[in-house]
């Protein structure tokens, strides 16, 4: 697993406003979208290109475009939806799949309760988006779910990560899967309720209100 922490003054500034408990939901949503665009710029650095002959108003030339197959963006429901809009602005030709995962409170297993994804992801570069990499349990399950469908290039984009979650990914993800994790910051630790500290609270609630 390769970790990339995006280091940029704009990201640091926006992240501080995002973390502030007095920031209202409307601003929070806009900031998540802006931060994910800045992260996506880094996260898409390895996309493969192909030649594309075009004519400018002045002369013919051979330009570059993203090579097929189309990249796939997969938000993990519910909080990952808050990152979809920013990702699609930067990668408008990508396809979007959806993955709903939650923990069974009795068995503690991760259950997939919703899935709208192609059965075959062979050769596709998948961008898995979820704002908070906390325990890492959901992300490990999501990565293996995508890998079972043939995905081998998976880039996870999260706003914040906890060291505990990153370690879990390192320990539990099958090393044959090429996983990159792009985050805006790695925080200090998880508390006893599995919240990231200092974090930003419950990302889903701050995006969409408490359900």
Catalytic residue annotation: 103, 107, 202, 205
Q: Which residue intervals of the chain are DSSP H helices?
A: 9-19, 25-43, 84-90, 137-148, 163-172, 203-208
Q: For the CA atoms of 166, 169, 172, 175, what is the dihedral angle to 10 degrees? A: -120
Residues in the chain: 211
* Given 32, 91, 99, 203, the residue binding ligand URA (CB under 6 A): 203
* Closest separation in Å from C-beta 134 to ligand URA: 4
* Closest separation in Å from C-beta 159 to ligand URA: 10
Q: Which residues are annotated as a binding site?
A: 78, 103, 130-138, 196, 201-203
- The CA distance from 184 to 203, in Å, is 14
Asked whether position 199 contacts ligand URA by CB under 6 A, the answer is: yes
Q: Which is nearer to ligand URA, 16 or 174 (CB)?
A: 16
> Which region, judged by CB under 6 A, interacts with ligand URA, from 11-19, 98-106, 147-155, 202-210?
202-210
Q: One symbol per residue from 111 to 150: x for binding ligand URA (CB under 6 A), - otherwise; what is it? A: ---------------------x-x----------------
- The CA distance from 174 to 146, in Å, is 12
Asked whether position 195 contacts ligand URA by CB under 6 A, the answer is: yes
Say whether 166 sits in a helix, a strand or coil.
helix
Query: Judging by beta carbons within 10 Å of its beta carbon (0-12, 13-18, 19+), is residue 202 exposed, middle or buried?
Result: middle
Q: Which residues are annotated as a binding site for 5-phospho-alpha-D-ribose 1-diphosphate?
A: 78, 103, 130-138, 202
* Closest separation in Å from C-beta 204 to ligand URA: 6
* Alpha-carbon radius of gyration of the chain: 18
* Closest separation in Å from C-beta 162 to ligand URA: 8
Q: Which residues are annotated as a binding site for uracil?
A: 196, 201-203
Query: Judging by beta carbons within 10 Å of its beta carbon (0-12, 13-18, 19+), is residue 6 exposed, middle or buried?
Result: buried
The residue ranges that bind ligand URA (CB under 6 A) are 79, 132, 134, 194-196, 199, 202-204
């Amino acid at each position: 697993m390769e970790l990339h922490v995006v280091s940029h003054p704009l990201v640091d500034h926006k992240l501080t406003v995002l973390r502030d408990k007095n920031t209202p939901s409307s601003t929070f949503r806009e900031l998540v979208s802006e931060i994910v665009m800045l992260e996506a710029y880094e996260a898409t650095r390895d996309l493969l290109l192909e030649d594309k002959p075009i004519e400018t108003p002045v002369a013919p030339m051979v330009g570059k475009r993203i090579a097929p197959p189309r990249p796939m963006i997969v938000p993990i429901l519910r909080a990952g939806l808050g990152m979809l809009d920013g990702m699609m602005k930067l990668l408008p030709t990508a396809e979007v799949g959806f993955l709903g995962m939650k923990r069974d409170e009795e068995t503690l297993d991760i259950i997939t309760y919703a899935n709208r994804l192609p059965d075959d992801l062979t050769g596709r570069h998948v961008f898995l988006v979820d704002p908070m990499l906390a325990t890492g349990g959901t992300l490990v399950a999501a990565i293996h779910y995508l890998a079972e469908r043939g995905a081998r290039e998976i880039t996870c984009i999260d706003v914040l990560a906890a060291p505990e979650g990153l370690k879990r990914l390192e320990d539990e993800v099958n090393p044959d899967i090429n996983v990159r994790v792009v985050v805006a910051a790695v925080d200090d630790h998880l508390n006893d309720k599995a919240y990231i500290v200092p974090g930003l609270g419950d990302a889903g609630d701050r995006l969409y209100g408490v359900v």
